[in-house]
Amino acid sequence: MNKVTKNWLDDAFQDNNLPSLISKYDVNELINKSMERTFGTYHGFEILLSITALTETGTEKTIKEKDLDEIIIECEKLFQGTPKSDILSLLSIRHVRGLRPPWFSWPIYSEILNPFDDKIRDIFGFSLDEISKDIVNLDPKSELNRFPDAIEKIKPYTTIKHSNIQTPGDLWDKLFVEIKNETVGLFYKISDVAYWVICRELQNRYSKFGDKKGKSLENLVKKEITRFLPSHDSFQEYYIDENEKDIITIGKKMGWAIESKAMNIRPSSADWSNLNAIDDMVPILKGLEQIIPPLDLLKNGGKFIDKVGKAHKIKPKDIVFGFIVTDQIYSSYVRAAIDEVIEKKEVALSNYFSKWHGNQVWIGSIIDLYLLFRVSETPSVLMDYLQWMRSEEKLKYTDEIESWLFYGTEPVMPFVKRVKARIIGSGFGWERVRNEGLNTYFPFWIERDRLIKELDKEGNINQALNIVRQERLNTSRIMKKRLKRKKV
C-alpha cells in the first residue's frame, strides 16, 4: 500500500523524480541565482524555496546557466499535476506576485487602514505614516543587514526558517527566509504581506476590526466610483426589500451594483491541497448572492430606499454591470475556484450564475479596480474591456495586468498559454507609470478618444461603446493580416 501524505508538493516531486539537479548545488547560491533570474516574482521561485527545504542540496557554488534553466523548468513541471483534494490545478491559476510595486499598492492599503492608526501604533510602536514611508521607500534589492525601523518591527511576524517550509503556502505571509547563516528577503511582495500581517494582528486584538475594515473599504470604493463616474448618482448603504446593499450608481443608460468584501485569506488557502480556500471564499460567494437583487433592479427597473429613508424609482438600464471588490490582491487565488464551487456547492447561486466568468460581474481587489479606472479613463472603454475579457476563456485566471495588456489584441491570444506570466506582466512598465501616470496605458488603438469621452460625459454610452468596439475590431483585423504575412 502506497504511503499517503498530506504534503502535495512532496508527493508531486517524488512522483516526478524531481528535482534531479538541485542536489548538486549550494542552497544559498541556488536561491540567489534563481531569484536574480526570475526577479523573485514568479510563483515558481517559491516552489523552489519549498523544494530545497524538502530535499538534500549540494556544495557546488558555480551554477551553470543551462542547469539553472533546467531547474526552473523542473519547478514549473510541478504545476502540471492536480494535488489530492485539490480545487484546481496550480497550472490554471497563473498567478504572479509582485507585479504591483509598493509605491502603487501600499497607499491604497494605507487608506483602508487609516481609521486604525492609533491601534497600529499601540501594536507596532510606529504610526501608519512611518510604516508607509519605510515600505514605499524600501529598495526590493536591498542587501542591508538592518532594514528601516518599521520593517524591522514587522520582521518577527514575517520570518520563517528554511527548514520549516513544507509547501509554498508556508511563504504566504513571509518576507524573510533564514537559510543557514543568510537571510533572503522576499520584498517583491512587501506591501501585500505587510497589509496582511497588520490586518491579522488587528483582528486578533479587536473583535470589531473585520466589520470596520469592511466599512473603510466600502468608503474607498465609493470615493473611487464617484471620481470615475461624476455625472452618475451614487448611493451608499441603500435598501432593496429591507435588505441593506453597499453601493449603486445610476446614469442615463448605465447602472452599476457594487458589493465590497473585506477578506481574510489564510496562508493555508495558498496551498491548493487545502480546502480552507473554500471557507475563505465565503465573502465572495455571499457578495455574488447579495448582488443579484440590485442587478435585477437595474435591468428591469423598480425602486430602492436610500439610507435616510427616501424612495428612488429607476428605469431599466441598457448597460448593467456588477462589481465585487475585495481588499486583498491575492483574491485571485480564490477567484480561480469560483466556477467549480458554484457548480458543486452553491445550488442557489448556480441558478443565476452558471459561471461567474461570462456573466456581467467583475471580481477583484480595490488595487485592480483603482488600476482599471485609470488605464481605461472613461466608462465605455472599461465596459468594453470587461465584456471582452468575460468572453475570453483563456483570460479566466490571468492577472488583471496581463489581461489589460492583451486587451484589443485578440489575434495574439493563442500565445497566452505559451508565454510565462512573469514575462507578460513585466511588460507593464511601472517606472514609466510612476513618471507619466497610468493613462500611458490607455489603449493604443483608440484614435477617437476625445469623442468617446465626450459621449460618455453626455450619457451616450451606447454610442461611445460602439465606437470603441469598431476600433478594437478594426485593430484585430489589421493584426490578423500582419500575422498571416509573417507566416507566409
pLDDT(329) > 70:
yes
Q: What is the dihedral of CA 208, 209, 210, 211, to 10 degrees?
A: 50
pLDDT at 460 over 60: yes
Examine residue 473 and state whether it is found in any structural domain, yes or no. yes
- 88 and 215 share one domain: no
pLDDT, residue 18, reads: 58
Quick check: is 53 in a domain?
yes
Q: Is residue 242 part of a domain?
A: yes
> Does any domain span residue 254?
yes
Q: Are 214 and 355 found together in one domain?
A: yes
The larger pLDDT score, comparing residue 5 to residue 31, is at: 31
Residue 1 covered by a domain? no
C-alpha closest to that of 283 among 248, 245, 334: 334
Domain boundary among 350, 376, 402: 376
Residue from 110, 113, 100 nearest 134 by CA:
110
Cα–Cα distance for residue pair 54/409, rounded to 1 Å: 42
Asked if residue 310 and residue 227 are part of one domain, the reply reads yes
Q: How confident is the model at residue 184 (pLDDT cuts 50, 70, 90)?
A: confident
Are 156 and 22 contained in the same domain?
Answer: no
Q: Is residue 3 part of a domain?
A: no
pTM of the prediction? Answer: 0.89
Strands 319-326 and 361-365, bridge-based pairing: parallel
Distance CA 310, CA 307 (A): 7
Task: Tell me: do 351 and 448 sit in the same domain.
Answer: no
Q: Are residues 219 and 346 in the same domain?
A: yes
What percent of the chain stands above pLDDT 70? 80
pLDDT level of residue 403 (50, 70, 90 thresholds): confident
Domain end point (choices 349, 376, 403): 376
Domain span at residue 71 reads 8-93
146 vs 8, higher pLDDT? 8
Q: Are residues 226 and 359 in the same domain?
A: yes
Q: What is the mean pLDDT of residues 51-75?
A: 84
Is pLDDT of 479 > 80? Answer: no
User: Do the domain assignments include residue 2?
Assistant: no
Average model confidence (pLDDT) for the chain? 83
Is 86 found in the same domain as 13?
Answer: yes
The closest of 154, 185, 159, 190 to 174, measured between CA atoms, is 159
Q: Are 416 and 427 in contact (CB under 8 A)?
A: no
215-230: per-residue pLDDT in tens? 999 999 999 999 999 9
Q: Does one domain contain both 432 and 302?
A: no
pLDDT of 122-166, one tens digit each?
999 999 999 999 898 886 665 555 677 888 888 899 999 999 998
Residues 362 and 213 both lie in one domain? yes
Contact 268, 274 (CB under 8 A): yes
Report the percent of the chain where pLDDT is more than 90: 43
Residue 80: pLDDT over 80: no
- 417 and 360 in a common domain: no
Which three three-digit cell numbers place residue 261? 468584501
- Predicted confidence (pLDDT) at residue 4 exceeds the cutoff of 90: no
Q: How many helices, marked H, and strands, marked E, lie in the chain?
A: 24, 10
User: Does residue 233 sit in the same domain as residue 371?
Assistant: yes
Q: Domain boundary residue among 74, 93, 112?
A: 93
* Mean pLDDT, residues 303-321: 96
Residue 120 is assigned to a structural domain of this protein: yes
Nearest Cα residue to 198 out of 331, 328, 324: 328
Question: Number of structural domains, the chain?
Answer: 4
- pLDDT (0 to 100) of residue 318: 96
